[in-house]
Amino acid sequence: MLAQERLVAFLWTSDRARARAFYEGVLGLTCLGDQDYLMSFDTGPARISFVTSDTPITPPKGTAAGWVVGDLRAAVRELAARGVEFERGPNSDELGIWWPEPNVGVAWFLDPDGNRLSLNGA
């Protein structure tokens, strides 16, 4: 039933201006709307929406949202050049990419509110 429908991911922010600067300026997403309670960004075949909260929110421990990219190394390098800091673990390479199997990698980073995001690809 939902296989052909557009997915919307919902994240939380305590600072809409800071979130917008990151998602629009650093990640290069297009802002579709910014109201007091909800801000949305277009991200290809999906959408990311932010619900605003004045109280501190503890983001989930796992990945909140991620993108499948055609060239993982190039995408990591481009975002790193824009100031994104990728998490590094004991099994990650020099760019912060973890390769759980040959030619399948993932790199994690945090947005300004601590939401864990990922890039996935080869």
pLDDT in tens, 34-70: 988 889 999 988 999 998 887 767 767 789 999 999 9
Return the pLDDT at 26.
97
**Overall average pLDDT of the 94-112 stretch:** 94
Q: How far apart are CA 42 and CA 8, in angstroms?
A: 9
Do the beta carbons of residue 110 and residue 102 sit within 8 Å? no
Please report which confidence band the pLDDT of residue 92 belongs to, taking 50, 70 and 90 as the band edges. Answer: very high
